């Protein structure tokens, strides 16, 4: 095994960034940050308490009220966003090393994250300039138009999987539309978030528009969500935390966008292109270490091809290269944190009593330390099994047979989640009709997860609330004010004459 790589100039202490200044928590609170290969602490991070959140929100509110950002023309904001994109794109190698080191993501999968993050900024830089809102005319009587305005301070609470890219997904539309933000990244993976202050400063984003706080969800996140000066909350994470946020925000009537968990089905019919389906379903559950909300972690296979498909799937899983995140040959690296490793391993033990173990089933061979899980395949999994129903969020797949289209649909919809789904068939009529009946926010037909940024992203049931992406993000981060102009006499009834 090659030597564990440590990035040069690694930060050993991460500070909040509030109103253009790096600061520690007022009371000095910190937490330790671990890297996942040896589970050694490599840094401390300032841990935001309520008084620190107050400072960040106050800075964001002041920047919003006083401008200039919130009052700029869309074209002026667009220029800054394009500069942000240029800078982000130029830092792909640096970002990849940080993300890989901090999260355990294989370096080859970490590369390109900066380009994806940059594209998010480019997309919204263009969109806000091209944005068209409705106007309505009643000839000779009335003119009506929509005045779209930024809302204020947006709380962005981001996850620990591919954190930098997911942060850009929220930051780009929130800032593009003229809001100010307070971002709290996940405490497991705070490292790459520390790049944003320098990027924004270099691009010319005014101070106070972007504020960064580190800390726990239970203290910093909870207080931020409940803060009376924060009208918008965008959260990506697990469904139980999403429910807690929804409850906390309800008394304040906040705008909520919740992208939550998933247990997405990949349905493979007998008439599918089996080689393409095999490539996509193996990649769909084991890429990003299986730590992805849209992972096709339930593979439903028609019985005619079941035995052959399962055998090939298991063989592929056994041959997946598990290794150091920094090794370019690694396909599955280390899970993000020991607590998450324990969770995934506990589900593997449960699965041994619920399905036929065909690959993996424990710690990856040759890795006595760190959070390494062997890619694990369970076949013949019943729909009431825990490994069929629960989001494991690791390199673990449950494979289940079906006979008919009706049975496949019932199995696909038989979870509390509804984020993504994948359907493999060469029958065009079946593909569309089946997709329409699946209870999920997104469906890919004969494809793995390839997204068009113009499309809405989000789920149904326990997978979330609301949609982001394209115009839906602009709608979330703005309010639409209706302006009515009378072109003739108003014809008001004459009360009290």
Which residues are part of the catalytic machinery? 259, 293
SS3 string, the chain, reads CCCCCCCCCCCCEECEEECCEEECCCCCCEEEEECCCCCCEEEEEECCCHHHHHHHHHHHHHHHHHCCHHHCCHHHHHHHHHHHHHHHHHCHHHHHHHHHHHHCCCHHHHCCHHHHHHHHHHHHHHHHHHCCCCEEEECCCEEEEEEEEECCEEEEECCCCCHHHHHHHHHHHHHHCCCEEEEECCCCCCCHHHHHHHHHHHHCCCCCCEEECCCCHHHHHHHHHHCCCCCEEEEECCHHHHHHHHHHHHHHCCEEEEECCCCCEEEECCCCCHHHHHHHHHHHHHHHHHCCCCCCCEEEEEHHHHHHHHHHHHHHHHCCCECCCCCCCCCECCCCCHHHHHHHHHHHHHHCCCCEEEECCCECCCCCCCCCECCEEEECCCCCCHHHHCCCCCCEEEEEEECCHHHHHHHHCCCCCCCEEEEECCCHHHHHHHHHHCCCCEEEECCCCCCCCCCCECCCHHHEECCECCHHHHHHCEEEEEEEEECCCCCCCCCCC
Q: How far apart are CA 420 and CA 460, in angstroms?
A: 9
Q: For residue 383, what are its two tokens? A: 């729909």
Gyration radius of the chain over CA positions: 24
């Amino acid at each position: 095994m090659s030597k564990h790589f440590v990035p040069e100039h690694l930060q050993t202490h991460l500070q909040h960034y509030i109103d253009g200044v790096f600061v520690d928590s007022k009371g000095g609170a910190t937490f330790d940050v671990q890297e996942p290969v040896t589970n050694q602490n490599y840094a401390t991070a300032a841990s935001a308490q309520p008084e620190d959140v107050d400072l960040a929100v106050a800075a964001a509110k002041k920047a919003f009220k006083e401008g200039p950002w919130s009052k700029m023309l869309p074209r002026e904001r667009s220029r800054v966003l394009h500069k942000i994109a240029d800078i982000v794109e130029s830092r792909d190698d640096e970002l990849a090393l940080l993300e890989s080191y901090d999260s355990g993501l294989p370096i080859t999968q970490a590369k390109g994250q900066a380009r994806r993050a940059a594209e998010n900024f480019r997309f919204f830089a263009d969109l806000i300039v091209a944005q068209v809102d409705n106007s309505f005319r009643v000839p000779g009587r009335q003119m009506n138009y929509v005045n779209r305005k930024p809302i204020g301070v947006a709380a962005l609470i981001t996850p620990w999987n591919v954190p930098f890219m997911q942060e850009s997904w929220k930051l780009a539309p929130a800032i593009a539309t003229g809001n100010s933000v307070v971002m709290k990244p996940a405490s497991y993976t705070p490292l790459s978030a520390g790049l944003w202050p320098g990027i924004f400063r270099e691009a010319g984003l005014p101070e106070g528009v972007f504020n960064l706080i580190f800390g726990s969800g239970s203290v910093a996140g909870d207080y931020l969500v409940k803060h009376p000066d924060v009208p918008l909350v965008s959260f990506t994470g697990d469904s139980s935390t999403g429910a807690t946020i929804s409850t906390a925000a309800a008394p304040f009537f906040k705008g909520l966008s919740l992208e939550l968990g998933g247990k997405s089905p990949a349905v493979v019919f007998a008439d599918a292109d089996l080689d393409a389906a095999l490539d996509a379903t193996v990649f769909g559950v084991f890429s990003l270490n299986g730590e992805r909300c849209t992972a096709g972690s339930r593979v439903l296979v028609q019985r005619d091809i079941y035995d052959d498909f399962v055998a090939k799937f298991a063989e592929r899983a056994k041959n997946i290269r598990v290794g150091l995140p920094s090794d370019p040959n690694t396909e599955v690296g280390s899970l993000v944190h020991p607590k998450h490793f324990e969770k995934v391993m506990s589900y593997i033990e449960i699965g041994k009593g619920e399905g036929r173990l065909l690959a993996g089933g424990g710690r990856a061979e040759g890795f006595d330390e760190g959070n390494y899980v062997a890619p694990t395949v369970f076949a013949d999994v019943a729909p009431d099994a825990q490994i069929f129903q629960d989001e494991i969020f690791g390199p673990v797949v449950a494979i289940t047979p079906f006979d008919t289209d009706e049975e496949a649909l019932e199995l696909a919809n038989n979870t509390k989640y509804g984020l993504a789904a994948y359907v493999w068939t060469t029958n065009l009529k079946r593909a569309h009709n089946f997709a329409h009946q699946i209870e999920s926010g997104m469906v890919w037909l004969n494809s793995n997860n390839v997204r068009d940024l113009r499309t809405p992203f989000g789920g149904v049931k326990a997978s979330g609330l609301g949609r982001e992406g394209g115009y839906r993000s602009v709608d979330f981060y703005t309010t639409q004010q209706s302006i009515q102009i009378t072109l003739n006499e108003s014809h008001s009834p004459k009360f009290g004459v």
